[in-house]
Structure 1
Amino acid sequence: MTRDDAFLQFLLRMGDNTLVLGHRVSEWCGHAPVLEEDIALANTALDLIGQTQMWLALAGEVQGDGKSADDLAFLRDAWDFRNALLVEVPNGDFGRTLMRQFLFDSWHKLMLERLKGSSDERVAAIAEKAVKEVTYHVERSRDTVIGLGDGTEESHARMQEALDYLWPYVGELFAGDAVDAEMVAADIAPDPASLRADYDAILAEVMAEATLSIPKSGFAHKGGRDGRMHTEHLGHLLTSMQWLQRAYPGARW
């Protein structure tokens, strides 16, 4: 694998994470429990899609065959996506959605903070802009997880169930491979494993305050970041997300 190939894969991973999660969160638009949450989730989705535009635009530039961010978002099939499995699982109830958001946000902020020091100025600039939005995302999802976890008996049970369900998807975020090794060697991005200690410390603090128990299992689903094995849910998501472009190829507003 050449460094350019690895760089492209890294950019797709960052952009696909925000694209797929942005679409998932947008599915709450008009369906959230209260209006304030509806607006907050819609804004989170917009932030993530905006970040996707930056990552995938750079990926298209690096790929060098004239593809735009829209091309990469709407004209790839499921096996070409490089997002972590965590972001493609269905929303479930409101508690599961916010638990997934917190688990992702906590990793996302740590990654972006490190990417601000990237040797690639374009990556550093994207991270500098995105981390400002993600800092808010973390604050909001953290407070919601604590509020629901340490809330009523029912909200506590739902949040614990959400954490138990999502926990096996967390480990993939920290599993390095040849792509990551190339990025570390070029000082473009950190080794994902190097983020784990800080991540675990954040989770331990928040889950204690939320009166939730972190599962002890070390098992981790893998396959999304390298495209080997996505869940069946990604194909259904893409069917919805890519419908207009597939039905009317090349259509523009």
Structure 2
Amino acid sequence: MTEHLGPATEATSPAASGPAHPPAGPPSVDYLLGLGDDALIAAQRLSEWAARAPEMEEDIALANIALDQLGAARLLLTYAAEREAAGRDEDALAFLRDDREFRNCLLVELPDGGFAGTMAKLLFLSAYQVPLYTALSGCADDRLAAIAAKARKESAYHLDHSSLWTVRLGDGTEESHRRMQDAVDEFWPYTAELFDADPAAPVDPARLRGEFDATVSAVLDEATLRRPADRWAPGGGRTGLHTEHLSYLLAEMQVVHRAHPGARW
């Protein structure tokens, strides 16, 4: 596994407690962008497995999970564009923003480094998204609640799929166990950012940590894997401070749209 280091300006901090009383009313544009960008960048990373997965069934499964994330991204970015009211649509937000304008967490932008890395990242992301979308499905904003209710069902499948593969690899051969443990160790520090305090969040991120920890710990125990200690906690993605990997990902994702502005297919 390759160590991923962000830029020197990247903030580092442990997970913090969220606001005691999250705001009511419509969500902020930045909050919607954070949710949408998480899904969009996760979809782009998962799509890299197209025709490359270890078996045909998994090739189809990962493509479907990528499409689930992309579908959620479209709904969230469309809502963000409407709330922004600056003349941009979902395509403009996806393809015409630079890396510093993206609000995704660092976890989703990191290269997977292999199939075990993909499953570790998907386990952590879906174990976070399930309680997040569950909570948001009951929020005061009807539009966001409806999006979250749909995305929650899909995230539950993503969690089940990544859990099964984590157990299969962790409790498999000596080599598969080593690779899965290396992946868990590599990406675990990036989970802390998911629970950083956000005064604008309709749901207090700190409320999600207990269910996330319980879910992940149960999967790792069954997989005979060790949960890493909480030490180094990189962050900054929510404020536009990203690793160098996002720039390369965006260059590939945005090249056609930027080369042919205004084109219709």
How many residues matched? 243
Q: Distance in 2 between matches of 1:127 and 1:3?
A: 16
Q: Secondary structure at the match of 1:32?
A: coil
Matched letter for residue 75 of structure 2: M
Question: Which of 239, 246, 250 is equivalent to 2:251?
Answer: 239
**1:3/1:182 contact within 8 Å kept:** no
Moved over 6 A (4+): 2-6
Structure 2 residue 236 is the aligned partner of structure 1 residue 251 = no
1:77 corresponds to = 98
CA RMSD after TM alignment: 1.5
Q: Distance in 2 between matches of 1:221 and 1:182?
A: 21
Closer/same/farther in 2, CA of residues 5 and 85 from structure 1, 3 Å limit: farther
**CA displacement, residues 100-153 of structure 1 (integer Å, 9 cap, x when unaligned):** 000101001110000001100000000111111111111111111111111110
**CA displacement, residues 188-210 of structure 1 (integer Å, 9 cap, x when unaligned):** x2111111111111111111000
Matched letter for residue 182 of structure 1: A
Q: Secondary structure at the match of 1:182?
A: coil
Aligned pairs for 1:191-210 within 5 A: 191-210=204-223
1:137 corresponds to = 158
Q: Distance in 1 between matches of 2:69 and 2:230?
A: 30
Q: TM-score, normalised by structure 2?
A: 0.89
**1:171/1:219 contact within 8 Å kept:** no
Aligned pairs for 1:59-70 within 5 A: 59-70=80-91
Cα deviation for residue 66 of structure 1 reads 2.2
Q: Secondary structure at the match of 2:200?
A: helix
Matched letter for residue 209 of structure 1: E
Q: Distance in 1 between matches of 2:93 and 2:76?
A: 10
1:186 corresponds to = none
Q: Percent identity?
A: 47
1:86 corresponds to = 107
Closer/same/farther in 2, CA of residues 65 and 129 from structure 1, 3 Å limit: same
Closer/same/farther in 2, CA of residues 70 and 242 from structure 1, 3 Å limit: same
Closer/same/farther in 2, CA of residues 212 and 18 from structure 1, 3 Å limit: same
Q: Structure 1 regions of 5+ residues with no counterpart?
A: 184-188
Q: Distance in 1 between matches of 2:142 and 2:27?
A: 17
2:78 corresponds to = 57
Aligned pairs for 1:174-189 within 5 A: 174-176=195-197, 180-183=198-201, 189=202
1:213 corresponds to = 226
Matched letter for residue 111 of structure 1: L
Closer/same/farther in 2, CA of residues 21 and 168 from structure 1, 3 Å limit: same
Matched letter for residue 249 of structure 1: P
Matched letter for residue 202 of structure 1: T
Q: Secondary structure at the match of 1:170?
A: helix
Higher relative contact order (CA 8 A, sep 6+): 2
Q: Distance in 2 between matches of 1:100 and 1:108?
A: 12
Q: Distance in 1 between matches of 2:63 and 2:70?
A: 11
2:238 corresponds to = 225
Q: Structure 2 regions of 5+ residues with no counterpart?
A: 1-22
Q: Distance in 1 between matches of 2:182 and 2:118?
A: 12
